[in-house]
Amino acid sequence: MRKIIYSVVAFFAILTLSNNAVAQIASANEDLVAVYRWLNVQDNNYVTLANGEIQEGQLLQWKYKDKTFLFYAYKSPGPDRVAVYRWENPLTRDFASIAEDELTDSDMQLKGYTGKRLQFYAPVRREANHVAVYRWFKSKSKDWVTIPEVGDTDNYIDRGYKMKTFQFYGIIRSEYQK
């Protein structure tokens, strides 16, 4: 009889602990957003977007395709996180994702960029399952592209992208994958 009572108590203790762990993972998932890169085939420009930032149907209408997952980022601010903003250049039809304090607003405006919009918050310190994210520039088309260090960088070098600059870290964690 005692074995049955101990077994039932142990079962409920394990069940409670596992539910707590699942709840913590679920709350971490709620603060994460997937970040993708899209290619505009008409302008041959890339844009980096958090999931849901612009509806996919609208992007397809604007001739964007080749949606590529890059990393996860945070939806809300927190310690050791930096805000990342999307800027648009109406003359070159380019979009650039720029971390807070990476370039000043006046620098971006001098380069012809307007329409600063908050995209996400990214880690600024490397931790387990974080990946460094770089900004590359192609001077011929004035296009900036965001590429994680695990991306196919040789492909972008062949396309004329240079001036690799570290921006922040992205999250690549299997327990956060949705």
Could you give the CA distance from residue 136 to residue 134 in angstroms, rounded to a whole number? 6
Whether residues 86 and 169 share a domain: the answer is yes
For residue 40, the model assigns a pLDDT of 87
* Torsions phi, psi for 61 (to 5 deg): -65, -35
| Residue 100 and residue 121 in contact, taking contact as beta carbons nearer than 8 Å | no
Q: What is the pLDDT of residue 21?
A: 38
Counted domains in the chain: 2
Average pLDDT score over the chain: 82
User: What pLDDT does residue 26 have?
Assistant: 40
Q: Predicted confidence band at 66 (pLDDT cuts at 50, 70, 90)?
A: confident
Span 58-68, average pLDDT: 88
Domain residue limits at 15: 1-30
What is the pLDDT at residue 25? Answer: 41
- Same domain for 75 and 150, yes or no, is yes
Looking at the structure, tell me whether residues 86 and 22 fall in a common domain.
no
User: Taking residues 68-88, what's their average pLDDT?
Assistant: 94
119-160 pLDDT per residue, tens: 999 999 988 889 999 988 888 777 888 888 876 777 778 888
Phi and psi of 60, rounded to 5°?
-65, -35
Same domain, 26 and 36: no
